[in-house]
Amino acid sequence: MTEKDWNEIRTNDSWAIFKIMSEFVEGYEKMARIGPCVSVFGSARTKPENQYYQKAVETSRLLVESGYGVITGGGPGIMEAGNKGAAEGKGRSVGLNIVLPFEQSSNQYVNHPVDFDYFFVRKVMFVKYTQGFITFPGGFGTLDELFEALTLMQTKKIDMKPVVLFGKDYWSGMVDWIDNVMLKKEANINLKDMDLLKMTDDPIEAVQHINNFYESHPLRPNF
């Protein structure tokens, strides 16, 4: 690589700041008008006949009935299920869609779309404008979003928010490992950190966990 090539890369990096700024501004302006929401995470690969898709629809409909909107990544699978449940309940159905060369466009149930080029900007919106997290089975992206939220709460960079892991069969192995290895064997987290997680297989229990939290905490966005 020549010095000219390197200087061109650095120049392009500098100009990218303005694109990043514009995404933050647009995201803040749109999300601030929507009202209290709950983020629903999960795999884009989950099919409509899957039990978790159906449970995500039901859970999201219950969230709307409790006065929340639903925020998803706007794509297929669990994201679509979350938006579908919110739309069927005639509530706020937010899709934070990431623009990729091979996918994805917002699913048909999104009534508040916001598009992003940068994953990290989108993750800020997931955290800043949500009152809680319900995480259905998913892959690396789902884990990334889950542990981002847990890390920010653990380090007190954001206020405490309720976190639900939906699907005991799916999540119990990970939670057992966190408890037995991360906590008890290696002492890499504190005992109170385990209190951040609530596992369930019941949509009613998932939504009730969030409602119970806000009986003693204010509804407001972070930072």
* pLDDT > 90: percent of the chain: 83
- We report the CATH number of the domain holding residue 12 as 3.40.50.450
- Is residue 109 situated within a structural domain? yes
- Per-chain mean pLDDT for the chain: 92
pTM: 0.90
Which one has a higher pLDDT value, 155 or 220? 155
Contact 64, 89 (CB under 8 A): yes
- Is residue 222 situated within a structural domain? no
pLDDT tens, residue by residue, 100-138 = 766 557 899 999 999 999 999 999 999 999 999 999 999
Sign of CA dihedral 136, 215, 89, 123: negative
Is residue 7 scored above 60 in pLDDT?
Answer: no
- Is residue 223 situated within a structural domain? no
pLDDT tens, residue by residue, 138-156 = 999 999 999 999 999 999 9
Range of the domain at 113: 3-213
